[in-house]
Amino acid sequence: MDELIYNLQNIGVYYRKAASLPWKSNKFWAVHDVSFKVHRGQTLGVIGRNGAGKSTLLKIMAGIIRPDTGSIHRANATVSLQSLGAGFDQRLTGRQNIFLNGLLLGMEKHYIVERIDDIVALADIGEFIDEPIKHYSSGMRARLGFSIAYYVNADIILIDEALATGDQAFKQMATGLIKDKIKSDHTVILVTHSMNLVKELCDRVIQVENGRSLPELPVKDSIERHLNCDRKEYA
């Protein structure tokens, strides 16, 4: 059997809020009673409507958030979380943020020095690389963030809407590079609203709604169920 990378059992994360009535619970469950397993080399799509708990779930899997209930087991493997603009300092240039973001993602400084020309070339934002991030468009931030994270040598890649912005050429390029990672036996967990991307990249799908994971279905059926949820919301 393939190596078990993740085993999540009844995971829950809640935040306390001011209760309007003294007898009402002041807990808001961002994630509640989520369970699933991921094996090495799998590409898992995480889908659901806005506010469903997808990003919180990815942060739990990255070790950024500790669950309040349940248990999570992760194999002895390195993890990279790719999220739009995560770790960027708006006052620093793109080049300076490569060092800052790279260190936050676990790169050694000497490795960043060796790879910085490759990262700059992949980002392909021209002279803006030496301009402060605050002057970047969302697409430029996406290009830079993806390019940094691509060079992180991690066994598990968590992608949180990192392909949601940017032009079509960037999205095609990034999708191709993710495919290369998948072929090289990386484990990929992808949060996205793009069902085309799910169909193209994922061999499994977990749907999260209102903080809970729904029973797992084949990819095609999960996508249809998700689209039906969207139709009901906007009907």
- Residue 89 near residue 133, CB atoms below 8 Å: yes
pLDDT given at position 24? 65
Its sign, for the CA torsion 27, 29, 30, 35, is positive
Query: Which positions of the chain have pLDDT values less than 70?
Result: 1, 18-25, 84-86, 162-166, 230-235
pLDDT given at position 168? 80
pLDDT given at position 28? 87
Report the alpha-carbon distance of residue 230 to residue 197 in Å, rounded.
17
Please give the angle made by the CA atoms of 216, 217 and 218, to the nearest 5 degrees. 135
pLDDT given at position 121? 96
For the whole model, what pTM was predicted?
A: 0.83
pLDDT given at position 178? 86
